[in-house]
Amino acid sequence: MEVIIKPEANDLAPVAADIVERLVLRKPAAVLGVATGSSPVGLYAELGRRVAAGRLSLAGCRAFMLDEYVGLAADHPQRYRNVIEQELVARTDLVSERVLGPDGLADDIPAACAAYEQAISDAGGVDLQILGVGSDGHIAFNEPSSSLGSRTRIKTLARQTRIDNARFFGGDVAQVPTHCLTQGVGTIMAARRVVLLADGEHKAEAVHQLVEGPVSAMWTATALQWHPQATVIVDEAAASRLALHDYYLDVYAEKPGWQE
C-alpha cells in the first residue's frame, strides 16, 4: 500500500487528479469507479479544471458509482446519482449516460444488485476506483462486520454513519435513509487500482486502522491491505495516528521517477 501524506486537505486533489490523468491519457476509454461524500469533491473540481483547460477529457470514460441510498426519490438532491451528476458530471465532460449506479428505487433489489455487478463486469471491470473512508472505517457503505468477500447488496447503515451523513440532510438524522445498496468489499477489491482520499482528524483512527491495523471486517477498509495497487492520500490531520508516518514521507520523497 502506498501512503502519500500532504500538509493540508487542499493538497490531496492534485495528487489524485494526476493519477486519473495519467490513466486516462494512457486509456481514454478507462472505467472509473466514483465515490460520493465530501472526500472526493476537491478531486472532481480539479478534474473539472483540467478538462476546462483542455489538458484532460473524460468523454471516452465510463463510470460506476459505489453506492446509493434505498428509497430516496429520483429528484432528491442527496440521491447519490444526483450528487455525482452535480459534483462530477456537470464539472467535466464525462457523459451522464455513461455513469451507472446501483438502483436504490428497484422493486427487486437482489436482481438490481446482480445486474449492477454484471454491468461492471461487462464494461471490463473498474480500472481506477476512487474511495473515501467512513469514520468507522467503512468503504462504500460496507459497515463494520461486512463480509470482506461481499458483492453489491443491500446494507443497513450504522447509526454512526447516519449521524455522520446527517449534515447532508439538514442535520436531521431521521431524514437519512436506513438502508443502502453498496458495492461489496469484494467488488471494490476487483478494481485494478484504488485511490483512497481522507482528510481531517476525525478520519485519523480509520486511516491508522486501514493502513496499519490487522485486516478485519470490523474496519472494512483494512481489506485494501490485500490490494496489489492501493494508494492512500491523506493530509497531516488524517495521518496523525500513523505509526510509520515518517517512513511514508521518506518513501514518497524517494519514489523512483519510473514508478507508477
Instruction: By CB under 6 A, name the binding residues for ligand GLP.
Output: 35-39, 66-67, 132-134, 140-141, 161, 165
Least Å distance between CB 7 and ligand GLP? 19
Residue 106 is classified by DSSP as -
Could you give the CA distance from residue 181 to residue 184 in angstroms, rounded to a whole number? Answer: 9
Strand-strand pairing, 2-6 and 230-235:
parallel
Q: Which helix (H) or strand (E) holds 115?
A: helix 109-122
- The distance from CA 163 to its chain's CA centroid, rounded to whole angstroms, is 19
CB-wise, 115 or 158, nearer to ligand GLP? Answer: 158
Least Å distance between CB 20 and ligand GLP? 17
Least Å distance between CB 132 and ligand GLP? 3
Least Å distance between CB 186 and ligand GLP? 16
Could you give the CA distance from residue 141 to residue 69 in angstroms, rounded to a whole number? Answer: 10
* Closest residue to bound ligand GLP by CB: 132
CB-wise, 132 or 184, nearer to ligand GLP? Answer: 132
Least Å distance between CB 196 and ligand GLP? 8
CB-wise, 55 or 202, nearer to ligand GLP? Answer: 202
The vertex-198 CA angle with 139 and 98, nearest 5°, equals 60
The residues carrying an active-site annotation are 67, 136, 138, 143
102 within 8 A of 182, measured Cβ to Cβ:
yes
Strand-strand pairing, 99-100 and 62-65:
parallel
Could you give the CA distance from residue 146 to residue 86 in angstroms, rounded to a whole number? Answer: 30
CB-wise, 48 or 137, nearer to ligand GLP? Answer: 137
Could you give the CA distance from residue 122 to residue 177 in angstroms, rounded to a whole number? Answer: 30
CB-wise, 93 or 132, nearer to ligand GLP? Answer: 132
User: Given the C-alpha cell 442535520, which residue does it identify?
Assistant: 171
